[in-house]
Chains A and B, each alone.
Chain A
Amino acid sequence: MNAIATGHEDLIHDIAYDHYGRLLATCSSDQFIKLFTRVVPSAEWTLLSSFKAHDANIFSLSFAPPQYGLLLASCSEDQTVRVHSSIDNGHTFAKIATLSDSGGPVHQVAFAKFGGHGLKLACIGADGVVRVYHAADPADLRQWHLAFEKVVDKDRLLSTGVAARDLQGDFAVDWCPSGTVRASWFTYELGIDMDDVELPRVDRLTIAELAVEQFVASSMSKVVVFRKRLNGGIYEYEPTEELPGHTDIVRDVAWASNASVGGRYELIATACKDGWVRIFKLTTRRIGGVRATEYRNGGAGTVSGNSEIGADEDDLGYEVELLDQFDHHKSEVWKVSWNFSGTVLSSSGDDGRVRFWRAAYTGKFVGLGVASAEQGSNDEMDD
């Protein structure tokens, strides 16, 4: 399939697929969002609609799960997150909400990928604050309330304040996509089998979902997992684990589905300015009084909890392990993306190449192939 001219008048900053992968939205510094639809069976993309969505550069896009209709969130340098809705399969969009709590440009926005308990949206911006909004009534998606906000990297914010325009910075957020983790967490937490719990199905589901809503956010070089946990009788988001080892700005984070490993552990990939693609393995563990960050061998190692954000002693948490790391880009890595099953990771960056990594039988990742944006790269020995 050939390249597609989008018609944008400035650089494209993000691309998002709808839940089915049949719609594609692009956003740009030209302040427009364009929507493309995949023609069946040719699988080519054709322009469906185009609309001015913000008053400044648009940085990121995210589609909501389809049970909420065709809903698209965008965030911008104009310091807002906007929610757009279409009732005609994407031919036209209407702005239904503007969220303007950020103290600076908003870099990334992400709808929660799972359904259940209302629609949630996370965003992070140059103020270094990750925010979660909640539309509790699915019948009225014009109403959003700020459910959570937290500075991801407190030290950094104290030293620099809100990122200045000339200061290079990056911020990213991604939700845990997996449904199965919810049950596994619940099971682990109570030490029982979900199937044995004699609760109405809906109640069981609700409890499990509340227990393990989680996302990963990065601010500069700090990457933190946030999880909704029971705290004084209330479920609320808390920073729980840190993914250590980044020596420069983290450009992107991506939380993989845990389906292919049967929910036994989670995988999170990061793209870093230091040239490394990192894959972290998060395994559910009871943390028995271990609070200090331990990070061995300049990279590969294990960390349980964290002195700053670690959970209480004898609490539940993730044991974080650097599963793999690759520096094949030999330059800044800007984007990481998982396939639906968490078995293939793509990374891309300044070397003009998309690199694919696949999970081998042992769970480690190996190179699968390279797609090059540089002409004449076919079957070449890539250095």
Chain B
Amino acid sequence: MSGAGPTSFSPSFGGPRPIFSTFEGPMGTPAKESSSITKLFTSPLASGRTTTVEGIRDTSEAEEEMKDEDDSVFTYTLPDAPIAAGRLRDWQDRKRTLKFTLPPLYNSGIAWIDGKKVDGGDQVPIVPDEVKIFPAEIPDSAYSDEYTKFVVDSHELYRALSDADQIGEPMDPSENILPKYATTFLEILDAARRRIFDERLSEAYVVCHCLFASYFADPGIMRAEAVMDWLNQYDPRPTTEETRDIMTTPVPYDEPGFWEFVQKLALRGLFFQCSNCLKEAGIPCADPESKRALQTGTSILETAPKGAKAFEGHRQWRARAIAFGEQCTKLSDARLRRGLIALANILRGDSDTILALSESWQEGTAALFLFHDPAPSRLPEYYQMAVAEFPVDLTVISEAGCAAIIAGDIPKALSVAERLDVCVAAHIADFCDRQRMLDDFYNIETLDLPPFRDWLFMAHAINCCANPGTWFIGVAYLKDTEGTAGLSIIRESITHVYLDTEATLTELLDLCKELQFDTEARQIVMAWSKLQLSRNQVGSALEWLDSIGNSLEIRAITWQLLESNLLKGLTLPDAILQRYLVSPHLCPAMIREFIAPYATYFAFKGHLNEGDIVEAAQYLASLIQFGFLPGRFFGALLGELLPLIDRSQPRALPTTELIAIMNSLYQWEKDTRKYTEGIQFLAKSLSATREAAADMAEDDWRVEYGNVSAKEVIKLVRSKLVTEVSRAYLEGV
């Protein structure tokens, strides 16, 4: 053992504080004035100071100062880092720089190397590493699978707690459900840190455990016990090695460190171990007084008050310890007397003894709390006494957090916890908020800021949103925050969620409906319809566009369908589109209106394939004469007419239709823009035939006319139309 614990128990002990203090006064020597470090964690409970946003600012500024002084922020090396160690200058001499960009939603971006002067051409030869890209994550923000499980489990507990509790309702202490949920959360966190082996998560566990022990102890145990349990888990003493070194010797009592070992057991509230140690140590009790004193000591240890009623029994038990100390002063065996008196001093809560035997502020605080007076209101006072002896090591983040908790500065503790793990910080803030521990913090200074609990949840939710698989958890948290920021974040991120399945789409649209995000819903539906189009699910795309009344897009798609078919030949429609084409009455009105030209073309092709040329010709003729037909399609549709007006087969169109088509042709040719567009499109259509002759259907009119120019095709159509009209006259119809 090392540190402040004395090994000598003489009254002249020259350590920092004599363990043989008088029995005068409850607390012995007053605590020293707080050091500059402890000032940072001045307890609002002890000093009457109201916790303010300055507390948070202090932490941020301390962080910033630390960063400015030694720039100790977390640094990691990019995988396959392209700059050799110590060769940064050489790399810079190559006129290179590093660039990095973050993606729209996720926390993992890409870094790459660029030249510093590219306008004039880069003269430095490129090396392979310079044309690589380097994935890089925002520190402490990317979730592993194990961490995702922790996030999910935490969220489930949060939901359960929210269902069971109503924020703001004053709670009857006996019906306080928070300790039970706090214990469960701690178990979830403990399991996560054991799975993940992350140092920061383990530190966050220490802070969380400290907070729950200090403020959310199970009603079945005394709070002082809970704090000591926290310490014994966080920093177990005596260690297994120390116990073995003493207790496995033939006569433990003869070991020089025996009393130090016993006192440490007592100081840590390990009463049964301490009692057993005294019984089994082979202490020679030469006289009855020694034997009686030893029996008294073990009896006191074994009857230490525990559990829910420990608080009431403490005063009586302490009185027994005081009497035990007086009893020991009469012992003749000097070594035994000194050892048992020191033990008695611990048990009666003598602050000088406790602080002299303690090795850290945590140990001193927890022992004073357990032995002196376990009233929760005195915890910050004990903390002040302990830190006067053992300054808080602010370089250990968890220690800074625990110090703030014990001091009663909860906002600062949460701020420190946030530096370790924002998920943990948010959840413990929620517990504090439900227990009304942050009420004093929400004051005039924080009017322009969101409630601290909400801010932490927002920070956590942003991480959830930026990690695959936890977006909806992030949204659930954001919905529970006050003000508009949470909803704004949902609004900002909702359109970035990849629409992998229709189920995702439906969930997002339901959320948009719930939150009245009409614009975003439209954007999502439009993006989904584009995705459906790229998957050749045209019918589905049309249906979704119809659901948002986007006639412009529906019109564009239906014309594109016709264009595509005129260029590539008839392609089979997807199931939904097929249903609408075959059964127009099933088609929503807007789609039916705009799909009519394509449906007409589709019907024309269908009849043509079935050999029903009269019916086919009727459909084609009506399409050619359609008043709103874009001029660019006219030439290609006339080309489709060629096989139907051939003298080699029966006449397909009546004279009136033939004349009407000729009239349309005349009108089209008169409109220079339409004619030019039509000729260009027809040429493109014919050229597509030549490029994909093998894939062309045998009955495609272009198979026969593929090598004819667009203008020649039109000329041929006109000639055949004239011939057909004359044929009609000759046939007298």
What residues make up the interface of A, taking CB atoms closer than 8 Å to B?
A: 1-22, 24, 26, 28-29, 40-41, 43, 45, 57, 59, 65-70, 77, 87-89, 105, 115-116, 126, 137-140, 165-166, 168-169, 177-180, 201, 205, 257-263, 328, 331-332, 334-335, 337-341, 343-344, 346-354, 356, 360-364, 366-383
Q: How far is the CB of A196 from chain B (nearest CB, A)?
A: 14
* Complex Cα spacing A369 to B140, Å: 9
Q: A-B pairs with the 5 shortest C-beta distances?
A: A369-B139, A139-B556, A67-B526, A21-B103, A3-B80
B78 located at the interface, meaning its Cβ lies under 8 Å from any Cβ of chain A in the complex? yes
Which residue on B lies nearest to A59, using beta carbons?
Answer: B118
Instruction: Decide: A369 and B76 in contact? CB cutoff 8 A.
Output: yes
Instruction: Decide: A340 and B465 in contact? CB cutoff 8 A.
Output: yes
Q: Among the interface residues A28, A40, A260, A343, which one has the most CB atoms of the partner chain B within 10 A?
A: A260
* Complex Cα spacing A205 to B519, Å: 8
Pull 7 A–B residue pairs with CB atoms less than 8 Å apart, ordered by A: A4-B132, A26-B112, A262-B483, A334-B116, A354-B111, A381-B71, A382-B75
B100 located at the interface, meaning its Cβ lies under 8 Å from any Cβ of chain A in the complex? yes
* Complex Cα spacing A32 to B648, Å: 54
Chain A residues within an 8 Å CB radius of B87: 374
Contact flag A15-B110 (CB < 8 Å), given A262-B483, A339-B138, A369-B74: yes
Contact flag A367-B81 (CB < 8 Å), given A11-B126, A15-B110: no
Instruction: Decide: B71 and A383 in contact? CB cutoff 8 A.
Output: yes
What residues make up the interface of B, taking CB atoms closer than 8 Å to A?
A: 53, 56-57, 60, 63-64, 67, 70-88, 91-92, 97-120, 122, 126, 128-141, 415, 449-450, 452, 455, 458-459, 462, 465-466, 468, 483-485, 488-489, 491-493, 495-498, 518-520, 522-523, 526-527, 530-531, 533-534, 552-553, 555-556
Q: How far is the CB of A6 from chain B (nearest CB, A)?
A: 5
Chain B residues within an 8 Å CB radius of A8: 131
Question: A20, A328, A334, A349: which contacts B104 (Cβ < 8 A)?
Answer: A20
Contact flag A17-B104 (CB < 8 Å), given A67-B530, A371-B76, A382-B73: yes
Chain A residues within an 8 Å CB radius of B81: 372-375, 377
Instruction: Decide: A362 and B53 in contact? CB cutoff 8 A.
Output: yes
* Complex Cα spacing A165 to B107, Å: 37
* Complex Cα spacing A352 to B134, Å: 12
Which residue on B lies nearest to A377, using beta carbons?
Answer: B77
Instruction: Decide: B523 and A367 in contact? CB cutoff 8 A.
Output: no
Instruction: Decide: B113 and A12 in contact? CB cutoff 8 A.
Output: yes
Instruction: Decide: A259 and B131 in contact? CB cutoff 8 A.
Output: no
Contact flag A77-B76 (CB < 8 Å), given A361-B53, A373-B83: no
Q: Among the interface residues B105, B449, B552, which one has the most CB atoms of the partner chain A within 10 A?
A: B105
Contact flag A15-B101 (CB < 8 Å), given A343-B459, A379-B75, A380-B75: yes
Q: How far is the CB of A39 from chain B (nearest CB, A)?
A: 12
Chain A residues within an 8 Å CB radius of B92: 331, 350, 352
Chain A residues within an 8 Å CB radius of B122: 10-11, 29
* Complex Cα spacing A22 to B57, Å: 38
* Complex Cα spacing A9 to B131, Å: 7
Chain A residues within an 8 Å CB radius of B128: 5
Chain B residues within an 8 Å CB radius of A43: 108, 468
Contact flag A11-B78 (CB < 8 Å), given A335-B100, A343-B462: no
Q: Among the interface residues B99, B485, B489, which one has the most CB atoms of the partner chain A within 10 A?
A: B99
Instruction: Decide: B80 and A2 in contact? CB cutoff 8 A.
Output: yes
Instruction: Decide: A371 and B136 in contact? CB cutoff 8 A.
Output: yes
Q: How far is the CB of B24 from chain A (nearest CB, A)?
A: 47
* Complex Cα spacing A149 to B477, Å: 43
Instruction: Decide: B83 and A368 in contact? CB cutoff 8 A.
Output: no
Instruction: Decide: A138 and B553 in contact? CB cutoff 8 A.
Output: yes
Q: How far is the CB of B702 from chain A (nearest CB, A)?
A: 22
Instruction: Decide: B132 and A5 in contact? CB cutoff 8 A.
Output: yes
* Complex Cα spacing A69 to B531, Å: 8
Instruction: Decide: A165 and B120 in contact? CB cutoff 8 A.
Output: yes
* Complex Cα spacing A28 to B99, Å: 14
Interface SS of chain A: loop
Chain B residues within an 8 Å CB radius of A165: 119-120
Q: Among the interface residues B57, B101, B495, which one has the most CB atoms of the partner chain A within 10 A?
A: B101
Contact flag A372-B491 (CB < 8 Å), given A45-B133, A168-B117, A334-B99: no
Contact flag A375-B496 (CB < 8 Å), given A6-B133, A87-B534, A349-B98: no
Chain B residues within an 8 Å CB radius of A353: 98
Instruction: Decide: A13 and B60 in contact? CB cutoff 8 A.
Output: no
Chain B residues within an 8 Å CB radius of A383: 71
Instruction: Decide: B74 and A379 in contact? CB cutoff 8 A.
Output: yes
Instruction: Decide: A362 and B449 in contact? CB cutoff 8 A.
Output: yes
Question: A28, A177, A178, A362: which contacts B131 (Cβ < 8 A)?
Answer: A28
Q: How far is the CB of B203 from chain A (nearest CB, A)?
A: 15
Instruction: Decide: B111 and A370 in contact? CB cutoff 8 A.
Output: no
Q: Among the interface residues B119, B132, B139, which one has the most CB atoms of the partner chain A within 10 A?
A: B119
Chain B residues within an 8 Å CB radius of A338: 102
Contact flag A340-B484 (CB < 8 Å), given A57-B118, A369-B73, A379-B74: no
Question: B106, B139, B140, B527: which contacts A21 (Cβ < 8 A)?
Answer: B106
Question: B63, B133, B449, B466: which contacts A3 (Cβ < 8 A)?
Answer: B133
Q: How far is the CB of B411 from chain A (nearest CB, A)?
A: 9
Instruction: Decide: A11 and B139 in contact? CB cutoff 8 A.
Output: no
Which residue on A lies nearest to B112, using beta carbons?
Answer: A12
* Complex Cα spacing A18 to B100, Å: 16
Instruction: Decide: A139 and B555 in contact? CB cutoff 8 A.
Output: yes
* Complex Cα spacing A376 to B79, Å: 11
Q: How far is the CB of B550 from chain A (nearest CB, A)?
A: 9
Contact flag A259-B488 (CB < 8 Å), given A361-B455, A374-B88: yes
Instruction: Decide: A12 and B530 in contact? CB cutoff 8 A.
Output: no
Which residue on A lies nearest to B486, using beta carbons?
Answer: A262
* Complex Cα spacing A68 to B450, Å: 36
Contact flag A368-B77 (CB < 8 Å), given A21-B106, A29-B122: no
Question: B56, B82, B138, B496: which contacts A356 (Cβ < 8 A)?
Answer: B138
Contact flag A334-B118 (CB < 8 Å), given A374-B85, A378-B75: no
Q: How far is the CB of A166 from chain B (nearest CB, A)?
A: 6
Instruction: Decide: B79 and A11 in contact? CB cutoff 8 A.
Output: no
* Complex Cα spacing A338 to B495, Å: 17
Chain A residues within an 8 Å CB radius of B75: 369-372, 377-380, 382
Instruction: Decide: A381 and B132 in contact? CB cutoff 8 A.
Output: no
Instruction: Decide: B118 and A11 in contact? CB cutoff 8 A.
Output: yes
* Complex Cα spacing A352 to B138, Å: 16
Question: B56, B57, B114: which contacts A12 (Cβ < 8 A)?
Answer: B114
Contact flag A115-B131 (CB < 8 Å), given A371-B111, A382-B71: no
Question: A1, A10, A45, A376: which contacts B77 (Cβ < 8 A)?
Answer: A376
Instruction: Decide: A374 and B77 in contact? CB cutoff 8 A.
Output: yes
Chain B residues within an 8 Å CB radius of A41: 468
Chain B residues within an 8 Å CB radius of A20: 104-105, 496-498
Contact flag A340-B139 (CB < 8 Å), given A2-B79, A66-B527, A139-B556: no
* Complex Cα spacing A206 to B663, Å: 43
Chain B residues within an 8 Å CB radius of A337: 100-102, 109
Contact flag A341-B489 (CB < 8 Å), given A346-B100, A377-B76: yes
Q: How far is the CB of B463 from chain A (nearest CB, A)?
A: 10
Chain A residues within an 8 Å CB radius of B484: 180, 262-263
Which residue on B lies nearest to A195, using beta carbons?
Answer: B516
Instruction: Decide: B138 and A361 in contact? CB cutoff 8 A.
Output: no
Chain B residues within an 8 Å CB radius of A166: 120
Instruction: Decide: A332 and B462 in contact? CB cutoff 8 A.
Output: no
Q: How far is the CB of A327 from chain B (nearest CB, A)?
A: 10
Q: How far is the CB of A283 from chain B (nearest CB, A)?
A: 11
Chain A residues within an 8 Å CB radius of B105: 20-21, 340
Q: Among the interface residues A41, A65, A371, which one has the most CB atoms of the partner chain B within 10 A?
A: A371
Chain A residues within an 8 Å CB radius of B140: 368-369
Which residue on A lies nearest to B79, using beta carbons?
Answer: A2
* Complex Cα spacing A377 to B465, Å: 30
